[in-house]
Amino acid sequence: MKVKIDSNAYYLPEKKEGDKDLLLENPDWDISKIAEKTGISTRSIASSSQTAVDLAYEAGIKLLKDVSSKEDIDLIILVTQSPDYVLPTSACILQNQLGLSKKCMAFDINLGCSGFVYAISVVSSLIDSGVAKKGLILCSETYSKYIHKNDRTCRPLFSDGASATLLSGSTSDNIGPFVFGTDGSGYEKLIVRGGGAREPKNIEDSSYGLIEMSGSDIFLFTLSSIPACINMLLDKSNLRIEDIDLFVFHQASKLVLENIIRTMSLDKDKVFINLKYVGNTVSASIPIALKDAENQGQLKDGDRVMLVGFGVGLSWGATLITWRNT
């Protein structure tokens, strides 16, 4: 599609949590073994008063300070699974806070680790069809609020953070094609049960509102679905692995990414990983990785980049972008 990424930015909360902090509260944990699997040593944690909207606002402000005219932005999407309210739509709140035009479309996408790829497809389609001129994608999560302090599966993995990505029309085909997939039979593999209409709030249940994740099942899902997804996208694009300049996967964990690299026989130098000091920021992980890759000189104008998101749902999506092309 004749759409391009104009700019992107991200925000991580000031509070940091390291492996030593985990060990102080959980002295029975084998921190070195956990760190070897996750590849993460530091996570960012939202304060008790910070919400997903707050983080998204900070990322949006960072991006907008370099935008010549925010009046041209007529679409805003927030990708989150930790909204401030059941209703209204959090994107509507952000439209007002960021001072965007009242002619702006605003809505949320309730997706996790694949959410950024889905949002790109929606925004690109609306711009390519002439419905919108410029679209702002905000990805923001505060998963830490859903994690028990003694959860050795989720706590060492997930980090809070937000990203902002601005898309606009282009004279070249810079985005696409797309490949998507869903396996709803695995919805219980990563779930927050309490609080919805199916299982309303139960104040007597101490596990109410907390994440339940079967790490082994998520790992097996990734290995069975993502290589096939990558191959489908290559076939759809008439490209080979060697034609991709950089792979940016959802930053799930070191174990997951290393197994994808090995299964697909990828060149490690072409796979960007920033897990160590960022953590798994769910829907924000791919756009944060893109910004870090650019800042570190691993992403250059004109590079062909494959983006692959996967996780909660179970859901996955992949696309190709040409970086900073006109």
190/200 Cα distance (integer angstroms)? 18
Let me know: does 306 contact 232? Beta carbons within 8 Å.
Answer: no
Catalytic residue among 8, 174, 250, 274: 250
The secondary structure of 118-169, three-state, reads: HHHHHHHHHHHCCCCCEEEEEEEECHHHHCCCCCCCCCCCECCEEEEEEEEE
**Is residue 154 annotated as part of the catalytic site, yes or no?**
no
**Is residue 250 annotated as part of the catalytic site, yes or no?**
yes
186/134 Cα distance (integer angstroms)? 35
Catalytic residue among 113, 139, 154, 229: 113
**Is residue 139 annotated as part of the catalytic site, yes or no?**
no
Location of structure tokens 């992980």? 285
CA angle 289, 290, 295 (to 5 degrees): 95
264/199 Cα distance (integer angstroms)? 40
> Which residues are catalytically annotated?
113, 250, 280
